[in-house]
């Protein structure tokens, strides 16, 4: 991927947690950042302000990746910021721990609409801009998977795990589909990371409670995921595509 002077990275869910860490690090590495958020405008604008304070350029856009029209709005804003050359499909949802026999259809539809369909639609928009087939200059896509795709989430989150299994398949397939068009597609699969997502699933202390099950005996940080994500967008990963990089503390 050429190193554009005006290269833009679209980071979905970039206001908090892993997305926030990715947005900040990408900006430090020379990317202009267009980040999406759904409800916490204050957190998203704080990321934009932090990037601006360090001399970078960023814009926050309210966009639910479960809504195709919102995705269009997000990428239109990215186009105004510069040349879209990176996409980090970070936005995702989890729900309260439950067995499958206690789950209802609305939960499952929400999970797949955000975690799977939203990622595919964002990648579609990125490919339309990056692919040499469409007159683009190449780029990189990094999807956020999860170790849950391998472990299965039994008794708690089989729906979330299934959504991340879909992300793994999608990553491998799209990587092969666009490999000759200047686009690399990879995924990072975090293990237990200490972010706000656990609170949204009703278990704010989950990361620390699971520490004894992790070989390193601690949860990871958002910054420890951001590093591999931004590396996969960089020229240092120029021959890497279709990879799913587990960052799990050995889990």
In a domain, 117, yes or no: yes
Domain assignment present for 190:
yes
Residue 2: inside a domain: no
Q: What per-residue confidence (pLDDT) applies to 4?
A: 78
**Higher confidence at residue 202 or residue 177?**
177
Give the residue among 214, 168, 171 at the shortest CA–CA distance from 194.
214
Q: Band the pLDDT of 210: cuts 50, 70, 90.
A: confident
Q: Looking at the domain assignment, is residue 26 inside a domain?
A: yes
What's the CATH number where 173 sits?
Answer: 3.40.50.720
**Is residue 1, in this structure, part of any structural domain at all?**
no
SS3 assignment, position 36: strand
Instruction: Report how many domains make up the chain.
Output: 1
Q: Is the residue at 180 inside a domain?
A: yes
- With CA atoms as reference, report the closest residue to 126 among 191, 92, 75, 202: 75
Contact by Cβ (8 Å): 123, 177: no
Question: 3-class DSSP state for residue 167?
Answer: helix
Query: Choosing from 37, 157, 160, 239, which is the catalytic residue?
Result: 160
Phi, psi (rounded to 5 degrees) for 219: -75, 160
Q: Is the pLDDT of residue 196 over 90?
A: no
Provide the mean pLDDT of the chain: 94
Average pLDDT for 150-173:
97
Is 160 a known active-site residue? Answer: yes
Q: Is residue 103 over pLDDT 60?
A: yes
Is residue 235, in this structure, part of any structural domain at all? yes
Euclidean distance between CA atoms 88 and 166, whole angstroms: 16
What Rg value do the Cα atoms of the chain yield, rounded? 17
Enclosing domain of residue 44: 7-247
Give the predicted TM-score (pTM) of the model. Answer: 0.94
Q: Is residue 12 part of a domain?
A: yes
pLDDT bin (cut points 50, 70, 90) of residue 211 is confident
- The torsion angles phi and psi of 86, rounded to 5 degrees, stand at -145, 145
């Amino acid at each position: 991927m050429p190193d554009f002077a005006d290269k833009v990275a679209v980071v979905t869910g970039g206001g908090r947690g892993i997305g926030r860490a990715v947005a900040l690090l990408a900006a430090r590495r020379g990317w202009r950042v267009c980040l999406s958020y759904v409800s916490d405008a204050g957190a998203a604008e704080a990321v934009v302000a932090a990037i601006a304070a360090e001399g970078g350029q960023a814009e926050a856009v309210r966009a639910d990746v479960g809504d195709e029209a919102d995705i269009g709005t997000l990428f239109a804003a990215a186009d105004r910021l510069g040349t879209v050359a990176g996409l980090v499909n970070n936005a995702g949802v989890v729900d309260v721990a439950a067995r499958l026999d206690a789950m209802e259809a609305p939960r499952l539809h929400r999970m797949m609409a955000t975690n799977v369909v939203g990622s595919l639609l964002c990648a579609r928009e990125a490919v339309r801009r990056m692919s040499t087939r469409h007159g683009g200059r190449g780029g990189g896509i990094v999807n956020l998977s999860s170790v849950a795709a391998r472990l299965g989430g039994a008794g708690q989150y089989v729906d979330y795990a299934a959504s991340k299994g879909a992300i793994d398949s999608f990553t491998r397939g799209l990587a092969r589909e666009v490999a000759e068009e200047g686009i690399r597609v990879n995924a990072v699969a975090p293990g237990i990371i200490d972010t706000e997502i656990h609170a949204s699933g009703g278990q704010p202390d989950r990361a620390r409670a699971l520490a004894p099950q992790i070989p390193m005996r601690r949860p990871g940080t958002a910054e420890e995921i951001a590093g591999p994500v931004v590396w996969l967008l960089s020229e240092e990963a120029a021959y890497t595509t279709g990879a799913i990089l587990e960052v799990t503390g050995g889990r």
